[in-house]
Every structure is written in C-alpha cells, then in structure tokens.
Amino acid sequence: MSLTDLLVPTYVQMLRALSSWLDKADKQLPEVESQELLSARLTPDMYPLSSQIRFACLQAQEARFRLRAELIPDCLNQLGREGQNAGDRPGSIAEAQARINESLTDLCSLEPGALDVCTDQVIVLSLPNKMTFEMTSEQYARDWALPQFYFHLNTAYAILRAQKVELGKADYVQHIFSYRKAEFMSEN
C-alpha cells in the first residue's frame, strides 16, 4: 500500500468524524459557550480541546510536506503556534470547523501518489525540546505521523466525552459503515 493510499483516506475519514463530533457537541450542549467547551481539558497539564483540534489538523497537513521533502509553510507553523496558545484564545466551534474544512480541502486536492514521490528520503524531525529524529518515509508515516494524529484525535474525543457529549464507537468509526453488506441493511 502506498503512503498516499494509507494516509490521505485515514486523515480524511477521521477529520470528518472530528467535525461530526463537534456538530454533536454544538447540538447537545447548546447552553454551553463554545469557548468553555473548547477550553476543556482532561487534566490541567494537557492542552485544551481547541489545541487538540488544531494539532490534529496540523499533523494531517504536515505529513504532506514532509513526505514530499518540501518546506512546511508558514500557515502550518502558525497553526502549531495557535495550538500551543489555544488556552488563551480557544476560538469558536465555527472556527474549529473551518480549520478542519481547510485541512480536508487540502488533503482532497492531492493527486494519487502525491505522498509517494520521495520514499527513499530520510526525514529529520527536530522538536522544540532539542530532540532530533531521523527516519525513512515509511517509518515517519507509521511511527510519527499516524500516532501523533491519533493522539490528538483521541484526546479530542475523550475531552468531548468528559464534557458529556454523547459519542460512541459508531461515531468514532463512522467510516466503517460504508463497508456494510447490503443483506444486513435490508434485514434491519
């Protein structure tokens, strides 16, 4: 399986799920201010929901540039800074949805094989804490890009559940229903 075929559908289906969770939150908790919800955290030392959404969007888009050996654009660096400071300015659910939609538009615009052009390159990740990692494209996708994306996605899901948004496994894996067999659908 190519990296494009692995990453792009994964990011798209899970960002769509994240968007639907926010829709549910908006409908189920109309009395809660969106800033209050977006400021919610699992623990005081973790980033709030607004950061988790920004970081999930960042991870999904950043892979595109790293896997193509391109510079990360300033707009994505800005998104990362926004995520780090989202506790001060959580924004609104509409703004979070706009970020998700921007990410989806970016991902859906990719040509087939777009992430498979530099598969023999070494990707160097330098983190703010001065740690540096070197890995192949496949290692990057498997060991960094997907785990980082899912960490922020799962944390967003957990925060929403902790805030009493009624979500279940079907909300998390809603994309799986496209594989449902026709016989099952007609029996129910």
Give the pLDDT confidence of 113-168 residue by residue, as tens digits: 999 988 788 999 888 888 999 999 999 999 999 999 999 999 999 999 999 999 99
Sequence-separated (6 or more) residues with CB below 8 Å from residue 57: 15, 79, 99, 100, 102, 103
pLDDT at 178 > cutoff 90? no
How sure is the predictor about 186, in pLDDT bands with cuts at 50, 70 and 90?
Answer: low
Contact 49, 39 (CB under 8 A): yes
How sure is the predictor about 102, in pLDDT bands with cuts at 50, 70 and 90?
Answer: very high
> Of 130, 132, 117, which is closest to residue 70 (Cα–Cα)?
117
Q: What is the pLDDT of residues 27-75, one digit of tens each?
A: 998 777 777 999 999 999 999 999 999 999 999 999 999 999 999 999 9
Task: Work out the number of other CB atoms within 10 angstroms of the CB of residue 138.
Answer: 13
Q: What is the pLDDT of residues 80-99, one digit of tens each?
A: 888 888 778 888 999 999 99
DSSP state of 89: -
CA terminus-to-terminus distance, the chain? 35
pTM comes to 0.91
Homologous superfamily (CATH) of 3-187 is dinb family like domain (1.20.120.450)
CA distance 95 to 105: 15
11-20, 78-87, 178-187: range with highest mean pLDDT: 11-20
> Of 126, 51, 132, 61, which is closest to residue 86 (Cα–Cα)?
51
Q: What is the pLDDT of residue 1?
A: 87
Domain ranges of the chain: 3-187
